[in-house]
Structure 1
Amino acid sequence: MTQVFNFSAGPAMMPKAVLEQAQAELLNWQEQQTSVMEVSHRGKLFIELITQADKDFRELYNIPENYKILFLQGGARGQFAAIPMNLIGEKGKALYLTSGHWSATAAKEARLFCEIDEINILEQSDTLKVANLDFSNVAEQYDYVHYCPNETISGVEIFDVPNVGNSVLVADMSSNILSREIDISKFGIIYAGAQKNLGPAGITIVIVREDLIGKARKSTPSIWNYEVQAKSDSMINTPPTFAWYLCSLVFKHLLKEGGVKAVEQRNQAKAKLLYDYLDQSEFYRNTVAIENRSLMNITFTTGNDELNAKFVKDATANGLQALKGHKVLGGMRASIYNAMPIEGVQALIAFMQKFAEENK
């Protein structure tokens, strides 16, 4: 049987070693003769698990002590609403930097809760390119500035951190969290759905600077109130315990594999391999400017919709799954998150070469 490589944009593949450990422990976690899904989330063993997960995640991402880590539900979309409810204060409005579908979706949701200004920072000419990132002259009139450093659909990544002066910078890192080293201290809030680099769908991580907690409007539901969640260790209701457990295993696995520095090196090598092939190909093309090419989501097309559909069908038959591009953009998309081995990228390139030869 052909080895299967899963290029899904999310839920995405997880490290094999993590799944194997979860499988081995499924019926007997911590010698309890029961699953982690079946124990009390307030019991001693589960509290030890989440305490260690917090410690491991801090070590992995070099998170300063003056930041809280919340493990919440509702996905990144839930945070689209929670952020304005928690951060809008005396200034009464926020600035949204849009560079694609998800940053624009976050801005649309925020309009339900506060006044916002929106600036499109994506230049669209022959290639997709991010324009100016210096907003220091305007940012301080806003309670916060929001952006999405990696647009999953288009494959646009912003590697430089926007300059927002003393304003609060908020980042939706759902699709590139833990993929490369960053300076957490430059951000007020970082949030991410787990289903790409952290674990399975169903849990969302919010990294929030402590001075931003306790400012929620009175009408904020308890489940979205950062102060309530922080005081309750993210457990004002029963949390997604199995998803939290799997995230804890991913953290340990990444630490064992050399941490985020080593992860970044592997991600750069994988992305370079595929982009180098695309750049020399006359059959496929990528439309993102070199300086904004995502390490996580690599988009490409043949320029022919029928040929694109045939590519996806044939790739699936050859064990290369989920390469169909998002319906918003079309074409193909290879999501090569942390768990994707370089062998998967090599197998994809080999198939692309064969397909190109057969379909000239």
Structure 2
Amino acid sequence: MVAAPLVLLALLAAPPPARPSSGDLLRNWCREGATDPQNPWALAHGLAFEGRAFRARDGRLAADVIVSDFLQRDPLHFEPFTSDDTPVEPHPYLMVKTLLLAGFSPSHVFRTPDGPVSLQALVNGLPRDFRASSALSSQGAWTLDALSHSLPHGATFTSGTRESVRLDAVMDEALALLEREQADLLAGMKAALPQVPKRKQGLYAHPCGGLHLVQAVLTHARHPAVRAAWGARLDTQVDLLFYRLGSESRQYDAALAATPPTQRLPVLVQMVKFYGHWLETLGRYRDETGWKPTPAQLQAVEHAGALLDGAVRRLDASGAWRTREALKASKDPLFLDLIGDTCHAARGWRDWRNHLGG
């Protein structure tokens, strides 16, 4: 007769189940949301997070689904969107960049209904389609990243217009573009302003706040000769990243405080987007160049992780992830942001997990 009360006491004394960490939430959201075999753009974001082993929910490797089901012929290319407006490659060469960074070698062969296709065959389109005006535009970051990773340092190639193009000259121009687009941020940093308002100016007119352009430029600095040539200009780009963390976090905090709780989803998604991309950008820079953060910079990384943690916790509590199918049905662009940005944030968290936990 006393067993039941003892069992009850034991249950009451047991610790509550551990909450999943923000790292776990982001991983689970990415793995759940990016596996749709009818959405190649989402699959590419899963690849960006988990690498070449990422699979669609039908069991096939995500990369095989992308190439087999969505590659077009004559010439080989991906359309920006499907007939129902599902994104495939809204940014030129997003897929080639993603496949290369996911760990596929150019010699890797994909099976398609029309026969085998090597990644090198897709890479070969880069010089064919190269136009400086496109590569050095707000949509060119993925092309620049793919170029830097598919060609050796010092390479020269012939463009589709039969011009001889030096890779290093293109990337020098990309650095100059980045500097121009961040002129107001640099001025704010030099003046020690607490923030530079975001008004869709300069880099803020680029997708994801221009952080893909930052990644494309910084990745080229993995070559020692490039680091030597760029010198202090490269250091300034890193300093600007840390300045942006303070500048933008203040603006997100203000936006969140000024927005009613029921209308905060766009702000929370933007916070996950920025903090996740920010961590991913510095993670790539560290891994690709051997950069080592100073103690103060590492403290800022940990602060960014805490800011991302807060945004993820609020996003989870809002129930937004559980209603994403309703967002999809209504063609709300937040549906795609939820998937893509959680994958980038999952990658950023993973890159710094030893300092962020989880």
TM-score class, shorter-chain normalisation, is: under 0.3
What TM-score comes out, normalization by structure 2 length?
Answer: 0.24
TM-score when scaled to structure 1? 0.24
For CA contacts below 8 A with separation 6 or more, give which structure has more relative contact order.
Answer: 1
Q: Choose 1 or 2 for highest CA Rg.
A: 2
Q: Which has the higher strand share?
A: 1
